[in-house]
Chain A
């Protein structure tokens, strides 16, 4: 049964269509990823699904409740970890959780138990009584995760859960998210612009751009369609035809004075490839990235990375000034 289904969900800001007729279904228990460049409409979609932004047209059902007509019911079915910090930094971790428990009507008798439970779950036992001002970015994120879970929502939304965190902390957060989806069997919807994050966590991924879903599939399938790894070779006079004929080569193109080749099973085939192409100046191997998947499906590169939020603000501003 679909726990979230959207029907032509649309949000416009003036002339700009941030989310364009989005229709998708997310199954119960699934970890679903919305992947896309900044400004693709991921956060806008999530904001609408959690009823803090009214759609311009279309609607969606979350846990069987309509986001337009039954926002109260939707709100008690969901938990959210926002993109920006949303814990109060003058309150301690525990106080933040207490406030949340009261807002979500968790009975007094249960409160302490639940709070201790989630604090243990995210490993903040030692720091729970410190004000969150002194927390590191990763600790705050963990506290927010704990908070989002405390009232046992049917669906947990995670908006860029690891944005701005260092790689080590990112791994930690991933571990917690995985653990949660396994132990609590909770439906999770996460947005990200890191391919490897979506890959690591999600059962299914939808790639979004300019308010639309470009493609939606299991992560393995997405990558299969694009190919395995990418080899960039710098050389004089490359013979593209010959390279393309090799059985393990999926595609070969000229790019910025080099040849970009997508091949299968790089560990087995790199040697063969290098033997066949002739004299080379340099070679670079990297795994398929979001950019490549994106390029494959849209035929264009992801816009230069902009600071998250900045893009929207400028768009908003220009639509207001108009």
Chain B
């Protein structure tokens, strides 16, 4: 029972911190709104999707699932990589010297991150309803389930990176070599089919592609892969990341 208690303790800390960091919460909504409104409707005026399966879908609607995934991705990875700063101070030590297993610390952290991401996703889904996306209550719940899966995967990925990096400067690397590529090559902004083959390969090994695809299937009713494939990839990737995360947390040491 004490391990569950520990998971709860770590989660509770993350949750309280999230609620108190108002700047972080507010800023996490600004960029998706800009993407949807400025980019979506702006580019949308001169772009119409030629792909047969997406024909007739307004560009803004097309990228809505992509923008949902994007804001999730940023929040999730930032959350994970934030450990670098926790580590710089001695905050993380307090948790690392506690007589609880590192897996519990990881799980607590992971659930904490997913909570942040899900709260944000709920608000963005409501925003979607407001701007006229076809979101029924059922679609709303279905999308939340998919978003939860993606967030488990991405928060865990962030934590894996955060626990293995010790240098604050590495943050820029993560931004440029992980976050942006994951986003751009996920089909968030353009359909994956009809891409040149090198780009196609990149998008197909990107786990986020399947998240975006599943969301698009749920919200717009069109997708390129089967739901089964999307779910399998997401679940598989999440399990892999959780496994790596538990190992990385177990190995985490102080730098002096």
Chain A residues packing against B (C-beta within 8 Å): 18, 43-44, 47, 50-54, 72-73, 75-76, 78, 80, 82-88, 90-91, 95, 98-100, 102-105, 131, 147, 309, 312, 316
Chain B residues with CB under 8 A of A18: 256
Q: Are B93 and A82 in contact (CB under 8 A)?
A: yes
Q: Are A95 and B16 in contact (CB under 8 A)?
A: yes
Binds A, one of B94-102, B191-199, B215-223: B94-102
Q: Are B90 and A84 in contact (CB under 8 A)?
A: yes
Chain A residues with CB under 8 A of B256: 18, 43-44, 47, 53, 309, 312, 316
A147 to chain B, nearest CB (A): 8
Chain A residues with CB under 8 A of B6: 102-103, 105
Chain B residues packing against A (C-beta within 8 Å): 2, 5-6, 8-10, 12-13, 16-17, 20-21, 89-91, 93-101, 253-256
Point out the residue from A53, A54, A76, A147 that lies within 8 Å of B99, measured CB to CB.
A76
| Known contacts A72-B99, A80-B97, A91-B16: A86-B90 contact under CB 8 Å | yes
A10 to chain B, nearest CB (A): 15
Chain A residues with CB under 8 A of B95: 103
Q: Are B89 and A105 in contact (CB under 8 A)?
A: no
CA distance A73 to B100 in the complex (A): 10
Q: Are B17 and A53 in contact (CB under 8 A)?
A: no
Additional 20 contacts, C-beta under 8 A, given A80-B93, A104-B98: A43-B256, A51-B97, A53-B253, A72-B99, A78-B97, A85-B90, A86-B91, A90-B16, A91-B16, A99-B9, A99-B13, A100-B94, A102-B6, A102-B8, A103-B10, A105-B5, A131-B20, A147-B94, A312-B255, A316-B256
CA distance A266 to B165 in the complex (A): 55
CA distance A103 to B17 in the complex (A): 17
Q: Are A75 and B97 in contact (CB under 8 A)?
A: yes
Q: Are B8 and A52 in contact (CB under 8 A)?
A: no
CA distance A88 to B6 in the complex (A): 16
Closest 3 CB pairs of A and B: A102-B9, A86-B90, A76-B99
Which B residue's beta carbon lies closest to that of A71? B99
Q: Are A90 and B20 in contact (CB under 8 A)?
A: yes
CA distance A85 to B63 in the complex (A): 44
B22 to chain A, nearest CB (A): 11
Q: Are B98 and A75 in contact (CB under 8 A)?
A: yes
Chain A residues with CB under 8 A of B10: 99, 103
Chain A residues with CB under 8 A of B20: 90, 131
Q: Are A102 and B5 in contact (CB under 8 A)?
A: yes
CA distance A87 to B90 in the complex (A): 8
Q: Are B89 and A86 in contact (CB under 8 A)?
A: yes
Q: Are B16 and A105 in contact (CB under 8 A)?
A: no
Q: Are A82 and B2 in contact (CB under 8 A)?
A: no
Which A residue's beta carbon lies closest to that of B16? A91
Chain B residues with CB under 8 A of A76: 99
Which A residue's beta carbon lies closest to that of B96? A52
Chain A residues with CB under 8 A of B255: 312, 316
CA distance A53 to B253 in the complex (A): 5
Q: Are B99 and A104 in contact (CB under 8 A)?
A: yes
| Known contacts A90-B21, A102-B5, A312-B256: A52-B93 contact under CB 8 Å | yes
18 A/B residue pairs, CB under 8 Å, sorted by A:
A43-B256, A52-B93, A52-B97, A52-B254, A53-B254, A54-B253, A72-B99, A73-B99, A75-B99, A82-B90, A86-B89, A99-B12, A100-B94, A102-B9, A102-B12, A104-B99, A131-B20, A309-B256
Point out the residue from B17, B93, B99 that lies within 8 Å of A91, measured CB to CB.
B17
Q: Which of B2, B8, B10, B256 has the most CB of A within 10 A?
A: B256
| Known contacts A76-B99, A102-B6: A47-B254 contact under CB 8 Å | yes
Which A residue's beta carbon lies closest to that of B88? A84
Which B residue's beta carbon lies closest to that of A47? B254
Q: Are B97 and A85 in contact (CB under 8 A)?
A: no
Chain A residues with CB under 8 A of B13: 88, 91, 95, 99
Which A residue's beta carbon lies closest to that of B17? A90
B201 to chain A, nearest CB (A): 34
CA distance A105 to B184 in the complex (A): 45
CA distance A50 to B99 in the complex (A): 11
CA distance A102 to B16 in the complex (A): 15
Chain A residues with CB under 8 A of B89: 84-86
A66 to chain B, nearest CB (A): 15
A60 to chain B, nearest CB (A): 15
Which B residue's beta carbon lies closest to that of A51? B97
CA distance A298 to B117 in the complex (A): 57
Q: Are A86 and B16 in contact (CB under 8 A)?
A: no
Chain A residues with CB under 8 A of B101: 72
Chain B residues with CB under 8 A of A105: 2, 5-6, 99
Chain B residues with CB under 8 A of A98: 9
| Known contacts A43-B256, A309-B256: A88-B9 contact under CB 8 Å | no
Q: Are B9 and A103 in contact (CB under 8 A)?
A: yes
Which B residue's beta carbon lies closest to that of A84? B90
A156 to chain B, nearest CB (A): 12
Chain B residues with CB under 8 A of A83: 90
